[in-house]
């Protein structure tokens, strides 16, 4: 089922700060509920949301307790600088959230269309994003870092039609190393096949 996804925009908010504050509030509100996959949700700094693509599913028929006249955000996600998809959530604290089953497909479609092409998730969520065309290019293996257990994470890139990705993700010992790899990742372009090369050659020859 397709749901209406809107880019969060507020009147007289030329720099996007108001929208960023409302989105950040919605993320923190969703994080306060211990629901499925919420342990992967990260509240980003306000400046990372400001002026970026903030996408939401609204339903003002639910109980409303958000600040001011802001819309009641049931679910949302952000496309940050560099095409990073982040802070994808559904707020289970609202009773009406139950009717938004499969809303991730609608959210992802909107964020991909906007330019979302990279994302990071914990290992158990990898299979959630792969159906949308995302391919892991980096893998932070689980281990102990500074005495703290760090679960595995995958670092995804969504290739365009003319791009080729490595057959396996590159492994890293730390999150920072894997993130730097994803941030700087540049895919290879597909080379023209022999038949295509020959076709171009003939086209040029007879022009």
Q: What is the pTM of this model?
A: 0.83
Quote the domain boundaries for residue 54: 1-115
Cβ neighbors of 1 (< 8 A, separation 6 or more) are: 101, 102
Q: Is the domain of 7 the same as that of 94? A: yes
**Percentage with pLDDT > 90 across the chain:** 57
Residue 97 banded pLDDT, cuts 50, 70, 90: confident
Number of separate domains in the chain: 2
| CA gap 52, 159 in Å, rounded | 21
Q: Is the domain of 89 the same as that of 191? A: no
Among 78, 96, 115, which residue terminates a domain? 115
Q: Is the domain of 159 the same as that of 96? A: no
pLDDT in tens, 106-154: 999 999 999 999 999 998 889 999 999 999 999 999 988 788 888 899 9
pLDDT in tens, 31-46: 887 555 555 688 899 9
Cα dihedral across residues 78, 80, 84, 86: positive or negative:
negative
Residue 204 banded pLDDT, cuts 50, 70, 90: very low
State the pLDDT at residue 146.
81
pLDDT in tens, 186-200: 998 887 554 444 334
Q: Is the domain of 59 the same as that of 70? A: yes
Q: Is the domain of 134 the same as that of 195? A: yes
pLDDT at 161 over 50: yes
> In the numeric block, which tokens belong to residue 145?
């870092």
Q: Is the domain of 86 the same as that of 155? A: no
Cα 185 to its chain centre, rounded Å, is: 16
Contacts of the segment 70-74: beta carbons below 8 A, 24+ positions apart: 70/10, 70/22, 70/25, 71/8, 71/22, 73/8, 73/22, 73/23, 73/26, 74/100, 74/103
* Average predicted confidence (pLDDT) for the chain: 84
Residue 64 banded pLDDT, cuts 50, 70, 90: low
Nearest by Cα to 3 from 74, 85, 87: 74
State the pLDDT at residue 186.
92
For residue 66, count CB atoms less than 10 angstroms from its CB and return exposed for 0-12, middle for 13-18, buried for 19 or more: middle
Q: Is the domain of 28 the same as that of 103? A: yes
pLDDT at 74 over 80: yes
> What number of other Cβ atoms are within 10 A of residue 193's Cβ?
9
Q: Which residue has the tokens 């007289």?
A: 12
State the pLDDT at residue 2.
85
């Amino acid at each position: 089922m397709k749901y209406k996804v809107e880019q969060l925009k507020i009147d007289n908010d030329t720099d996007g700060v108001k929208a960023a504050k409302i989105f950040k509030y919605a993320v923190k509100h969703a994080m306060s509920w211990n629901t499925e996959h919420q342990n992967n949700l990260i509240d980003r700094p306000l400046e990372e949301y400001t002026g970026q693509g903030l996408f939401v599913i609204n339903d003002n028929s639910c109980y409303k307790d958000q600040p001011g006249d802001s819309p009641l955000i049931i679910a949302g996600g952000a496309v940050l600088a560099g095409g990073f998809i982040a802070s994808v959530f559904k707020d289970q604290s609202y009773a009406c959230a139950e009717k938004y089953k499969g809303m991730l497909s609608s959210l992802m479609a909107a964020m991909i269309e906007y330019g979302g092409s990279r994302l990071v998730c914990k290992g158990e969520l990898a299979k959630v994003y792969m159906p949308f065309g995302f391919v892991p290019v980096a893998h932070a293996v689980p281990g102990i870092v500074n005495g703290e257990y760090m679960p595995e994470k995958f670092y995804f890139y969504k290739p365009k039609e003319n791009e080729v990705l490595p057959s396996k993700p590159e492994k890293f010992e730390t999150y920072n190393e894997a993130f730097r790899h994803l941030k700087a990742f540049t895919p290879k372009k597909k080379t023209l096949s022999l038949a295509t090369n020959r076709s171009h050659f003939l086209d040029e020859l007879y022009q």
